[in-house]
Amino acid sequence: MAGRNDIQLIREAYIRMYEGMITKDEAILRDVLDDSFVLVHMTGMRQSREEYIGAILNGTLNYYSAKHENMPVEISSDGTAVLTGQSYVAAAVFGGGRSNWRLQQKCSFKKVDGTWKITRSVASTY
């Protein structure tokens, strides 16, 4: 049965994902992103976990800061969850200049060996 602690753990995983994105910390990203992770960018482009981590590490995707404004969590009885994170993010991506974005990531989670892992994120603005 999912509870209050699970909601907090899911939110912490989302925040840690941003920490890994900002600091370009491969270990954090590998820890919070499931092997099956897929990111769907605003353009519709999809990246696997390996492609996404690679793009962060090689400077294709650069994140500088994130202020998390909203993180509602819905937990399903099947052991999955969805966090719709709304964060004010400073980033420079795909060769563009540094900009501030109201970035929404609808993150899907599953519990793996007692740890919540992000399996999918769909990016948009809010």
- Mapping DSSP onto H, E and C, the string for the chain reads CCCHHHHHHHHHHHHHHHHHHHHCCHHHHHHHEEEEEEEECCCCCEEEHHHHHHHHHCCCEEEEEEEEEECCEEECCCCEEEEEEEEEEEEEECCCCCEEEEEEEEEEEEEECCEEEEEEEEEEEC
- Mean residue pLDDT of the chain comes to 96
User: What are the residue boundaries of the structural domains of the chain, listed by start?
Assistant: 4-125
What's the predicted TM-score (pTM) here?
0.94
Single-letter amino acid, residue 20: G
Confidence of residue 3 (pLDDT cuts 50, 70, 90): low
Model confidence pLDDT, tens digit, residues 44-99: 999 999 999 999 999 999 999 999 999 999 999 999 999 999 999 999 999 999 99
What's the pLDDT score for residue 40?
A: 98
Q: What average pLDDT does this structure show over 21-27? A: 98
Secondary-structure class of domain 4-125 per CATH: alpha beta
* CA dist., res. 46 & res. 116, Å (int): 22
Q: What is the pLDDT of residues 98-107, one digit of tens each?
A: 999 999 999 9
Which pLDDT belongs to residue 4? 72
Q: Are strands 115-125 and 99-112 parallel, antiparallel or unpaired?
A: antiparallel
